[in-house]
Amino acid sequence: MIQFSNVTAAFDGHNVLEDVSVQINPGEFVFVVGQTGSGKSTLLRLMYMDVMPEKGAVIVGKYNSQTIQTNEKPYLRRTLGIVFQDFRLMEDRSVYENVAFTLHVTGTPRKEIKKSVLRALADVGLSHQRNKMALELSGGEQQRVVIARALVNDPLFLLADEPTGNLDPTTSWDILQLLKAINTRGTAIIMATHNHELVKRMNARVIEIRDGKLIEVKDF
């Protein structure tokens, strides 16, 4: 479970989010919408505690923003999958190596790494591309690599920050269908997006950030 209790987040003395309370449960698919600069990315960064609240508490599983220690944050992030808009792939490494990197860092045994990486690549339909360099792939394929990397730790929650922002409409819909399939298997998806057309095509929970407040949207 991810829970925000009366959370305020500020930058340069300006409140981006103010007195926000929300709960997101395992297995949900949740869109976070709002204008550019409204705080969508900040909301996600609070979840993996890259940003800490000025007031209130963020609880992610057993971790609480009010009590978490700096050396515990990497362990928190291993329970989450994070998908960035700008891919952040290592250009000098293969698709397989990009997905495996996180597991190498955490000391996972080589046999387990191979099993987990091949499973994640199969989940996103890229098994046949595993030996290619990241830059040899299309934008949509690169985003699939990013999603595979986020899935390799088998997270309960996948946080996707504008994952279709740099993609054409057809590829964007393909990525959304992939996320929907991942959600169907039990992983909760929290997706920040400004693409209202995609949101309208999905039957999912929608949260809007407006003037620093969270609003549950019943009919988007």
pLDDT of residue 88: 84
In this structure, are 168 and 66 located in the same domain?
yes
Please tell me the distance from the alpha carbon of residue 81 to that of residue 93, in angstroms, as a whole number: 20
In this structure, are 182 and 125 located in the same domain?
no
- The domain boundary, picked from 129, 154, 179, lies at 154
In this structure, are 75 and 170 located in the same domain?
yes
Model pLDDT for residues 91-120, shown as the tens digit of each residue: 889 999 999 998 988 888 988 999 999 999
Return the CATH number at 190. Answer: 3.40.50.300
In this structure, are 75 and 162 located in the same domain?
yes
Q: 116 burial class (0-12, 13-18, 19+ CB within 10 angstroms)?
A: buried
Q: pTM of this prediction?
A: 0.90
Q: 202 burial class (0-12, 13-18, 19+ CB within 10 angstroms)?
A: middle
Domain of residue 64, residue span: 1-79+158-220
Model pLDDT for residues 53-98, shown as the tens digit of each residue: 999 999 999 999 999 999 999 899 989 999 987 778 998 899 999 9
- Name the domain count of the chain: 2
- The domain boundary, picked from 114, 134, 154, lies at 154
In this structure, are 173 and 186 located in the same domain?
yes
Whole-number average pLDDT of the chain: 92
In this structure, are 150 and 166 located in the same domain?
no
pLDDT at 14 over 90: no
In this structure, are 6 and 73 located in the same domain?
yes
Percent of the chain whose pLDDT exceeds 70: 100
pLDDT at 48 over 80: yes
In this structure, are 48 and 150 located in the same domain?
no
In this structure, are 7 and 66 located in the same domain?
yes
Higher pLDDT, 220 or 6: 6
> ∠5-187-142 over CA atoms, to 5°?
110
